[in-house]
Structures are given as structure tokens and as C-alpha cells.
Amino acid sequence: MNISIKNHIMNNFKGASKEDIKESIVSSFNDKDEITLPGLGVFFGIVWNKSSEDEKNKILDILKDSLS
């Protein structure tokens, strides 16, 4: 059986409110449970793909500054 984690996560959040999505993100960090990392990766991929070049540069600046 071939399961797409990305499709599964996207289907789980179809119709979700902004508050539902925020709660999921916040709880992922608060729980410190690595099982949520694929979901956060899917969310990041969506943000990255929908971002302008300026927004991508801001994201990269935040990441670079945070990793310094």
C-alpha cells in the first residue's frame, strides 16, 4: 500500500479553521513530539510554495538568524 503522508495531512486539515491549524502547530512545538515533524514539513512546504521571493528571503533570514 502506497500512502502519501502529504496528501493524508492535507486531507486531515481540509475545512479546518485558522484556529485549528494554529492549535495544531502550537501543540506540535509544546508537545515536543517528533511524530508531528512531517506535518510541520507539509505546512512549511505550502507556505514556501505560496510565498513571493521577498517572503522566501524573509523566511531564510529568520532561519539563518535562528541557526547562528
Does this model's pTM top 0.75? My answer is yes
Q: Which three cell numbers stand for residue 9?
A: 495531512
The region that residue 59 occupies, defined by phi over 0 for left and psi between -120 and 50 for alpha, beta otherwise, is: alpha
The region that residue 15 occupies, defined by phi over 0 for left and psi between -120 and 50 for alpha, beta otherwise, is: left
The 10s digit of each residue's pLDDT in 3-62 is 788 999 999 999 999 999 999 999 988 887 788 888 999 999 999 999 999 999 999 999
| Domain ranges within the chain, ordered by starting residue | 40-68
pLDDT of 57: 98
pLDDT of 31: 84
pLDDT of 1 strictly over 70:
no
